Amino acid sequence: MKVFIIGGTGLLGSETARVLLEQGHEVSSLALPPLPHGVALPKAMKISYGNYMEMSDDELRNQFVGMDGFVFAAGIDERVEGKPPVYQMFKKYNIDALERSLRLAKEAGVKHVAICGSYFAYFARRFPEWKLTEFHPLHSLAN
């Protein structure tokens, strides 16, 4: 299967690429330059650099052409601190960007999708005894 990853040089995207390549899939990625310092990326992953948020619909749709699968491993997480209210920032980079990417992937014929979300949220739910939400940047805003 041919898989396209947005965010393939990040923590979640690069690990996803590694696993997919080990399973025999072909992986292409679009990532923001420059390459993160010290990251060990899979050599077989094809990487092109660019900002999908700044690409036209046609430019981004063309990235999906010929792909069977799409992995969204981009967006922003709780490490990014924006000016209050932060909802619009998260909506722009996570919700709106994902909706657009999914629409364009579907238009290009992509049949399989995986969305990589915040590992912070995953571990907070998986291990509630760690009380990770107490250390979340938004926790202080809620109190």
Given a cut of 70, whether residue 22 has pLDDT beyond it is yes
Could you give the percent of the chain with pLDDT greater than 90? 59
Phi-psi region of 46 (alpha: psi -120 to 50; beta: other; left: phi over 0): beta
- Side-chain-facing half-sphere of 23: CA atoms under 13 Å: 11
The second-level CATH assignment, the architecture, of 2-142 is 3-Layer(aba) Sandwich (3.40)
Domain ranges in the chain? 2-142
Average pLDDT, the chain: 88
Residue 40 has pLDDT above 70, yes or no: yes
What tens digit of pLDDT does each residue of 111-132 get?
999 998 776 777 778 888 988 7
Q: What is the mean pLDDT of residues 42-52?
A: 95
- Cβ pair 7, 72 in contact under 8 A: yes
Single pTM value for the model: 0.83
